[in-house]
Chains A and B, each alone.
Chain A
Amino acid sequence: EAGVAQSPRYKIIEKRQSVAFWCNPISGHATLYWYQQILGQGPKLLIQFQNNGVVDDSQLPKDRFSAERLKGVDSTLKIQPAKLEDSAVYLCASSARENTEAFFGQGTRLTVV
């Protein structure tokens, strides 16, 4: 069974530029998460989808971050414009249901210079 796929693996952009990350969850998984992990810290939940509806986005900086999950499958996370403090690893995860174990992709390491 294929795992969670994320792309790109690495991205370097200048501040004020835009960037988008893509995630393809495990087939059949209803719940999809996006986390931000700053070096040395635990993952911080940005947004959680159940199918194509948003369950929680309370920690998503909505003035610059946006996310969507079309048709309840793939998801994209966008940052526009990026700030230096957005430098982090962005992790996508999926689970069969909300309270079951989440499986993570390899992440996208974003560096904003």
Chain B
Amino acid sequence: AQKVTQAQTEISVVEKEDVTLDCVYETRDTTYYLFWYKQPPSGELVFLIRRNSFDEQNEISGRYSWNFQKSTSSFNFTITASQVVDSAVYFCALYYNQGGKLIFGQGTELSVKP
């Protein structure tokens, strides 16, 4: 079965703390794509990153970084020096070729307090 699990329902941190959001996926496909999206209080899902299954290089974009490990089927997202504006719900998603579907995890609500 194809599945995305975000075990952390809610995380609360104080501004400037680092925080890691976990994502574990299941798929039998050898070719697949992983995504992270941010959903601020306004409600619109905002694309953050896309990774294909053949590229395990970690990526850094400003305060954001992503750790992709096929051995543990994980695609974790770290925010360094968090800010209040990072408060949102974050979703991990999986696109798998067999059936060609884009499915989402349940989301992690991040609250960054000043």
Assess the B100–A98 pair: CB atoms within 8 A: yes
Given known pairs A101-B35, A101-B50, the reply for A48 and B105 (CB within 8 Å) is no
Q: Is the CB of B102 within 8 A of A33?
A: yes
B88 at the interface (CB under 8 A from A): no
B55 within 8 A of A: no
CB distance from A23 to the nearest CB of B (A): 14
Which residues in A have their C-beta under 8 angstroms from that of B64? none
The residue on A at minimum CB distance from B96 is A99
B20-57 CB mask vs A (1 if < 8 Å, else 0) is 00000000000001010100001111110010100000
Q: Which residues of B contact A42 (CB under 8 A)?
A: 4, 6, 91, 104-107
* Chain B 90-101 near chain A by CB (<8 Å), digits 1 or 0: 010001010111
For A50, what are the chain B residues with a Cβ–Cβ distance below 8 Å? 100
Q: Does B13 touch A at the CB level, under 8 Å?
A: no
Contact B107 A41 (CB under 8 A): yes
Q: Size range of the interface on B?
A: 20 to 34
- Closest A residue to B109 by CB, please name it: A40
Residue total for A at the interface (Cβ-Cβ under 8 A):
25
* Minimal beta-carbon separation of B30 from chain A (angstroms): 13
- Chain B residues with Cβ below 8 Å from A89 are 43
Complex alpha-carbon distance, A56 and B42, angstroms:
28
**Closest residue of chain A to B35, judged by CB?**
A101
Set of chain A residues within 8 Å of B47, measured between Cβ atoms? 101-103
**CB-based contact A45/B103 at 8 Å:** yes
Q: How far is the CA of A13 from the CA of B95 in the complex (A)?
A: 34
CB-based contact B103/A104 at 8 Å: no
